[in-house]
């Protein structure tokens, strides 16, 4: 028995040495940015990206699986995340390409944290920039941008996802308040609201009972009549605290109605931007899957040699890399169109549809390449594989985005 145990220990040490050598070898190999898209960034942006990567390597990557397994949000890292000063990068003078790569890079480390980031910054904070009144921005923007307060974007409803624009049931009724001023009464329910269990404020969309128009409201989450409950038993984005939210006669001051919103059409710019960022998440997922699969293929030995020496394994890795590179290339062009003010919704829909489809294929190959180890979060791939399903669906499902692009190229709508 002692000899057997000694032999096992020696074999284990040999495997550690081999793995260490494989890791050293990996550092000398090309990265997932195989076509060098990051070279399009400015020197300042590349330096900031390196700072972000250092933060993610220290503060996120070692713990992301544990957060995911426990379905716990790491609120303790928010001050450190805020210190990076990456809230709404374009508002800070960075390019749209850099803003997209930031989301992809955070996703590469942890999809859930990236989802928090884009819901808070690219939907809530960006809404304050785009649609908030001067008073609303002065009251809320500084704290939100620095993560001293957190926000959510409450649009989707229990009975309405893709058709929420026409089917929205949450209502808003304006009431004359006399000496107290006018206020609004909100009734209804929202579902799948990211950050919804802990946010300080939420941007709530409701239909005006008087004229049927869609209005936006900044709602303090602690107001009487607001009820929040976490959605349980998810198999994706477990760290994200999605909520069911019910509004029962919630009184919102006229001063907290979003001044720049008078119809659902006013939200298209926001939704287009958030759809772009979710497409960048699809890129980040593929980068993560490739990272894990390649390292595993180089380090894992079967039949006396590394998996990477098998032809079919190399074919899978190259397909995964090709999918990631092609998806990134499409998103780089979208960023260039954004810079020119020329990115339209059909183009964005095609990008999100294409990138999410390639993502699904890529993470499935990665999960298969890891064999049995691909279904436990210890090896990261199972988490990557599961989280991809959420990206495939939210900010317009694959099918809806496909039909938006299809309508553009045929002139005929298959949606309505």
Q: What is the pLDDT of residue 271?
A: 84
pLDDT in tens, 239-285: 999 999 999 999 999 999 998 887 777 777 778 889 999 999 999 99
| HEC per residue, 146-170 | CCCCCEEEECCECCECCCHHHHCCC
Kindly indicate the confidence band of residue 163, based on its pLDDT and cuts at 50, 70 and 90.
Answer: confident
Model's pTM, two decimal places? Answer: 0.91
Nearest to 129 by CA among 94, 82, 90, 86: 90
CA angle 162, 232, 290 (to 5 degrees): 70
- Distance from C-alpha of 258 to C-alpha of 220, rounded to nearest angstrom: 13
pLDDT in tens, 195-227: 999 999 999 999 999 999 999 999 999 999 999
Query: What are the percentages of helix, strand and coil residues in the chain, rounded to 5?
Result: 60, 15, 25
Kindly indicate the confidence band of residue 22, based on its pLDDT and cuts at 50, 70 and 90.
Answer: low
Rounded to 5 degrees, φ, ψ at 332 are -60, -45
Is residue 374 over pLDDT 80? yes
- Distance from C-alpha of 288 to C-alpha of 276, rounded to nearest angstrom: 19
Q: Report the chain's mean pLDDT, rounded to a whole number.
A: 91
Nearest to 192 by CA among 162, 147, 149, 217: 162
Kindly indicate the confidence band of residue 24, based on its pLDDT and cuts at 50, 70 and 90.
Answer: low
9 or 337: which carries more pLDDT confidence?
Answer: 337
For the segment 349-367, the average pLDDT, to the nearest whole number, is: 97
396 or 99: which carries more pLDDT confidence?
Answer: 99
Q: What is the pLDDT of residue 13?
A: 37
In this structure, are residues 398 and 311 in contact, taking their beta carbons and an 8 Å threshold?
A: no
Is residue 326 over pLDDT 60? yes
């Amino acid at each position: 028995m002692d000899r057997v145990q000694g032999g096992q220990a020696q074999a284990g040490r040999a495997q550690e040495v081999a793995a260490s050598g494989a890791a050293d070898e990996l550092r000398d190999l090309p990265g997932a940015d195989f076509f060098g898209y990051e070279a399009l960034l400015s020197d300042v942006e590349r330096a900031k990206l390196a700072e972000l990567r250092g933060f993610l390597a220290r503060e996120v990557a070692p713990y992301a699986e544990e957060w995911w397994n426990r379905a716990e949000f790491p609120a303790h890292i928010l001050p450190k995340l805020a210190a990076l000063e990456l809230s709404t990068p374009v508002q800070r003078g960075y390019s749209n390409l850099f803003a997209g790569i930031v989301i992809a890079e955070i996703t590469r480390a942890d999809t859930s944290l990236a989802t928090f980031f884009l819901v808070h910054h690219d939907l809530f904070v960006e809404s304050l920039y785009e649609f908030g009144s001067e008073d609303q921005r002065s009251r809320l923007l500084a704290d939100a941008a620095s993560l001293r307060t957190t926000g959510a974007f409450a649009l989707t409803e229990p009975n309405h996802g893709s058709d929420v624009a026409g089917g929205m049931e949450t209502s808003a009724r304006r009431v004359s308040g006399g000496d107290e001023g006018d206020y609004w009464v909100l009734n209804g329910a929202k579902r799948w609201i990211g950050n919804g269990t802990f946010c300080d404020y939420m941007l709530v969309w409701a239909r005006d009972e008087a004229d049927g128009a869609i209005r936006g409201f900044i709602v303090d989450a602690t107001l009487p009549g607001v009820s929040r409950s976490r959605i349980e038993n998810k198999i994706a984005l477990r760290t994200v605290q999605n909520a069911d939210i019910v509004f029962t006669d919630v009184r919102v001051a006229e001063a907290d109605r979003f001044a720049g919103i008078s119809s659902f059409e006013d939200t298209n710019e926001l939704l287009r931007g958030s759809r772009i960022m979710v497409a960048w998440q699809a890129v980040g997922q593929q980068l993560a899957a490739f990272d894990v699969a390649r390292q595993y293929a180089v380090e894992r030995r079967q039949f006396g040699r590394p998996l990477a020496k098998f032809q079919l394994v190399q074919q899978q890795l190259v397909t995964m890399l090709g999918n990631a590179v092609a998806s990134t290339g499409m998103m780089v062009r979208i960023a260039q169109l954004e810079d020119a003010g020329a990115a339209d919704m059909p183009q964005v829909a095609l990008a999100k549809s294409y990138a999410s489809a390639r993502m699904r294929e890529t993470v499935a190959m990665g999960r298969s390449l890891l064999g049995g180890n691909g279904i436990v979060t210890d090896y990261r791939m199972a988490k990557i594989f599961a989280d991809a399903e959420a990206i495939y669906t939210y900010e317009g499902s694959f099918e809806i985005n496909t039909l938006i692009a299809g309508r553009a190229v045929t002139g005929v709508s298959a949606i309505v």
